[in-house]
Amino acid sequence: MTLLRTDICVIGAGAAGLSVAAGAVQMGADVVLIEAGEMGGDCLNTGCVPSKALLAAGHKAHQTAQSAFGVAGHDPAPDFAAAKDHLRAVIDRIAPVDSQERFEGLGVRVIRARARFTAPDMLDAAGQHISARRFVIATGSQPFVPPIPGLDTVPYHTNETIFGLLERPGHLLIIGGGPIGLEMAQAHRRLGSDVTVLEGARALGRDDPEATALVLAQLRAEGITIIEGAAVVSATGKDGAITLQTGAGASITGTHLLVAVGRRPVVDDLGLDLAGIAHGPKGITVDDGLRTSNRRVYAIGDVTGGAQFTHVAGYQAGVIIRPMLFGLRARARADHIPRATYTDPELAQVGLTEDEARKAHGARLSVLRAEFAHNDRAIATGQAQGFAKVMVVRGRPVGATIIGPQAGELIQIWALAIASRLKMSAIAGMISPYPTLGEINKRVAGAYFAPRLFESRWVKRVVRIVQRSR
DSSP 299-355: E-GGGGTS---HHHHHHHHHHHHIIIII--------TT-EEEE-SSSEEEEEE--HH
DSSP class per residue in 20-44: HHHHHHHTT--EEEE-SS-TTHHHH
Residues of the chain by 3-state class (helix, strand, coil), percent to 5: 40, 25, 35
For 104, how many CA atoms within 13 A lie in the half-sphere containing its CB?
10
Provide the pLDDT for residue 315. Answer: 96
What sign results for the dihedral spanned by CA atoms 284, 285, 286, 288?
positive
Q: How confident is the model at residue 459 (pLDDT cuts 50, 70, 90)?
A: low
457 contact partners, CB below 8 Å, separation of at least 6: none
Weakest mean pLDDT among 70-74, 150-154, 380-384, 463-467: 463-467
pLDDT digits (tens, 9 = 90+) for 114-127: 999 999 999 999 99
Provide the pLDDT for residue 67. Answer: 87
Q: How confident is the model at residue 136 (pLDDT cuts 50, 70, 90)?
A: very high
Cα 414 versus chain centre, distance: 17
Which strand ranges, in their side-by-side order, compose the sheet holding 171-175? 225-228, 194-199, 171-175, 256-259
CA distance 228 to 178: 11
Q: Who wins on pLDDT, 455 or 168?
A: 168
For 95, how many CA atoms within 13 A lie in the half-sphere containing its CB?
13
The predicted model gives 299-304 an average pLDDT of 97
| Cβ-contact 300, 138 below 8 angstroms | yes
| Cβ-contact 343, 183 below 8 angstroms | yes
Residue 452 has pLDDT above 80, yes or no: no
pLDDT digits (tens, 9 = 90+) for 220-243: 999 999 999 999 999 999 999 999
Q: Which residues pair with 309 in a beta bridge?
A: none
Provide the pLDDT for residue 462. Answer: 72
pLDDT digits (tens, 9 = 90+) for 426-446: 999 999 999 999 999 999 999
Q: In 3D, which of 208, 249, 200, 245 has the Cα closest to residue 227?
A: 200
The predicted model gives 256-281 an average pLDDT of 96
Provide the pLDDT for residue 469. Answer: 78
The predicted model gives 286-294 an average pLDDT of 98
The predicted model gives 19-44 an average pLDDT of 97
Sorted by where each starts, the structural domains of the chain and their CATH numbers stand as: 2-39+99-143+264-326 (3.50.50.60), 151-261 (3.50.50.60), 338-454 (3.30.390.30)
Mean residue pLDDT of the chain comes to 95
Most distant pair of Cα atoms in the chain: their distance = 91
CA distance 108 to 230: 49
The predicted model gives 197-224 an average pLDDT of 97
Q: How confident is the model at residue 461 (pLDDT cuts 50, 70, 90)?
A: confident
Q: In 3D, which of 47, 27, 116, 1 has the Cα closest to residue 342?
A: 47
Count CB-CB contacts under 10 A for residue 183.
20
214 contact partners, CB below 8 Å, separation of at least 6: 345, 385, 386, 403
Q: How confident is the model at residue 467 (pLDDT cuts 50, 70, 90)?
A: confident
469 contact partners, CB below 8 Å, separation of at least 6: none
Strands 396-404 and 346-351: antiparallel
Q: How confident is the model at residue 460 (pLDDT cuts 50, 70, 90)?
A: low
Q: How confident is the model at residue 183 (pLDDT cuts 50, 70, 90)?
A: very high
